[in-house]
Every structure is written in C-alpha cells, then in structure tokens.
Amino acid sequence: MYESVEALAYELEAAGRRATGASRDTMTSAYQQGMARLGATAAGERLGEWVRSAGGVASQVPLLSWQADLVAARHGIDELVRQVKQLPVTDPRAGVVAIQLVEALDAVRRERLAIRAAMAFANPVSVATSTLVLTAGRLGHVDRARPLLVRRAHAIAARQRGGVEERFVAAHVLARAYLAGGKPQHSLRFAVDAAQLARRAADESSDAVDQPATARERLRAGAGAGVLGALMTAKQVAADLLVPTYEHLPATERWRRRCGAALVTAAWAHLALGQSDRAVDAASTAVRLGHSMGHAPQAAALPATGVSVRRRQDLLRLVEGVDRREYTGTRRGNSGTALNLTALQAKKAVSLVRRRRRPDAHPSRSTVQTGE
C-alpha cells in the first residue's frame, strides 16, 4: 500500500505541473490541475481502472481518521518531533532531524491529497469529484511550525564547522533547507558541494569498518539515563538490529552512499526547476553509487500517462530500508508503523472518553473551565 499511495501522488503531480517544489500552495494546486487534466482523458480512465483494481488504494483506506494517522505514523512524525525537542542546537544531528521533519510533514500532506484523489477516481461522479478536490485543497492547513523548522535547520547547518563529516552534513542540510524553502537553485549549489565532499572522502578513505558500540554496551549506557532514556535507547537498538545503519558499512561504501544522498537532493532540486532530464541523470548516478533513494526522484520524473503509475510503484519498491532511514530518518513497512498507529488511535480514544465524561463529572463548572 505504501508505494501505491506515493506513486499516485507523483502521477497527479506530474499531470498538474512539471516542477515539484515544496510550496504547500503549489502542491495543492498541482493536485487540482492534475485531477482536472486526467479526469476527462484516456489516461484518467486508465488511472481510474488502476485505483479500482485489487492494487488500488481507496478500498484500503476507508476511514479518514485512520488513514491520516497511518500516513503520519509511517513517516515517523511523532518520533521526529520528539528528536527535534530533545536534541540541543549544538548537536550536529539537530539540523538533520529538523529538515527531516519538514520533509515528513510535506510527505504526509502529499499522501493525504493522493488518498482523496484515489477515492475520487474510484467513484468518478462529477459532483463527488469536485467536492473531494475542494476538500483536498483545505487539508493540512499551513503549519506554523514548518517555516520555523526550516529556519532552525538552516541556522544550525550554517554554524557548523569542523572536519569533512560536519561540513558534509552542513552542506546537505542547507541544500534540503533551501529546497524546502522554495529556492531550488540555491539547493542545487549546496547539494553539489555536499556530493563533492563525500566523493573526495570516499577516495581518501579505507575499506575498514568502524566498530560501533555493541547493543549490550548501548543498553547499559542507556540504563543510566533514567527510565525514559533506557526506553529510547532500547527502541533505537531494536531499530538498528532490524535495519542496519551506515555505521556498519566500510568507510568507502558509507561515503559513496552519502554522495548518492546528496545527488538525490540535487535530483529533487532539478525537478523543482523543471529540469526532468537532469533530475533523472542525478538520480541514476545516485543509484549507481549504491543509494537506492534515487529511485524516488526517478519515479517522480516520469510523465503522467495513467499507466505510468505502475512503473512509479515498481521503482519505489526498489528503495532499501537502510537508505530510506538514513535520508528520511524513518523506516516504512515495519512494526514501528503499526505501533505508532496504535498509539495515535489510543490517544484519540482516551481523549474522546475524557471529553465525554468531563461535563458529567463536573456539572458545576463552566464550559470554558471544562472544555478545550
């Protein structure tokens, strides 16, 4: 299901506009234009058949609240928010996590719009379709935290100095921050700088594998940080065991993949500039360097034909968990998504029960005192 929603989102974006900038207003406009252009064409008919088929999306997401929580859970919104709050600005990872959260928020909005579009294509009645498109335009109103997160990531990265590791992280975060801020030309320049830094580091490094702390050593260290620290450490250790990180790779391979990650960002910047051919070239180079996230901009760059959505889906399935985790900070299609979804639904249920009980439990209190 994950790749199906993402593939449909890219199909509508390709039909609505050639550029794929991060502006939320532009994103919504692209879906509206994409629906209008595909709705009355042969490509739209093929897309509707795909949605209504067994591999479609609408039938798998019957409840709006459930699908919204699912999309948020699979992108690790809660986990990224927690890290943004916990990491001090002096931590080099703080800028990375901040921009990952911005991109996750944009991905959540993109996929919610795609799910509404899937429902419209599954039941292409003119009135229902127009209503759903208008509803999609009102979804996910501009989050006030988003520009603050972009500025936070930019400020942290701009202050970073030090060795090649810190300079690569700073250049790559700046590239992604400028892209999220709607300045793809600046993003492209910093992405190229980051790729060059990583390539030089790969040429100068050896094939030795760094030996990170063992799981037992990490659990012991976390135990001294209190209950919350121990739980967070245990969760991180479990995640590393399920999907290894780049820390387990030889130094040359690690830097080669990081070079690929910077080229993935360059590919997105090219797409935002309407340069599809250059985007595909950059993404293909990233894939050759071993970074499978290059398949995502490859999928997004395909022209919209109705049947191309299956090709997009096939490309997205080639993305490896370790590369997605390194680039986005989250893993998809694992038990973590189910746990996050369960937690979100449980919170809503508890909140609903409390709101219903509160007026009965305190009948003398005013609405202002008891309501939210």
Residue-level pLDDT at 207: 58
Q: How far apart are CA 342 and CA 339, in angstroms?
A: 5
260 is written with which tokens?
């690929």
User: Helix/strand/coil (H, E, C) string of 247-279?
Assistant: HHCEHHHHHHHHHHHHHHHHHHHHHHCCCHHHH
How many domains does the chain fold into?
1
User: Helix/strand/coil (H, E, C) string of 209-229?
Assistant: ECCCCCHHHHHHHHHCCHHHH
DSSP bridge partners of 250:
209
Q: Evaluate whether 317 touches 334 at the Cβ level (below 8 Å).
A: no
User: Sign of the C-alpha dihedral, residues 92, 97, 100, 102?
Assistant: negative
| pLDDT tens digits for range 259-318 | 999 999 999 999 999 899 999 999 999 999 999 999 999 999 999 888 888 899 999 999
Q: 228 lies in a domain?
A: no
Range of the domain at 130: 2-209+249-333
How far apart are the two ends of the chain, measured CA to CA in Å? 36
Q: Degrees (nearest 5) of the Cα angle 201, 203, 206?
A: 85
Residue-level pLDDT at 69: 64
H-only helix segments in the chain: 2-16, 24-39, 42-52, 64-74, 77-86, 92-122, 126-138, 145-159, 164-180, 184-204, 215-223, 226-242, 251-272, 276-288, 295-301, 308-316, 321-328, 335-361, 367-370
Q: 194 lies in a domain?
A: yes
Could you tell me how many residues make up the chain? 372
Amino acid (1-letter code) at residue 261 = A
Cα-to-chain-centroid distance, residue 312: 16
Q: 69 lies in a domain?
A: yes
Q: 285 lies in a domain?
A: yes
Q: Which residue has the tokens 């390194």?
A: 326
Q: 218 lies in a domain?
A: no
Q: How far apart are CA 271 and CA 278, in angstroms?
A: 8
Residue-level pLDDT at 134: 42
Q: 124 lies in a domain?
A: yes
Q: How far apart are CA 59 and CA 122, in angstroms?
A: 9
Q: Which residue has the tokens 């700088």?
A: 193
251 is written with which tokens?
């130094």
* Contacts for 54-59: CB closer than 8 Å, 24+ residues apart: 55/4, 55/313, 56/4, 56/118, 56/122, 57/1, 57/4, 57/5, 57/8, 57/114, 57/115, 57/118, 58/115, 58/118, 58/119, 58/121, 58/122, 58/123, 59/122
CA-to-CA dists, residue 264 to 45, 233, 301, angstroms: 32, 30, 12
Element (H, E) at 320: none
Residue-level pLDDT at 366: 41
If 0-12 CB within 10 Å is exposed, 13-18 middle and 19+ buried, where does residue 186 land?
middle
Q: 372 lies in a domain?
A: no
Q: How far apart are CA 183 and CA 175, in angstroms?
A: 9
Residue-level pLDDT at 237: 59
Helix (H, G, I), strand (E, B) or coil at 148: helix
Q: 29 lies in a domain?
A: yes
If 0-12 CB within 10 Å is exposed, 13-18 middle and 19+ buried, where does residue 203 land?
exposed
Q: Which residues of the chain have pLDDT under 70?
A: 1-2, 17-28, 31, 39-40, 52-70, 121-143, 206-244, 331-372
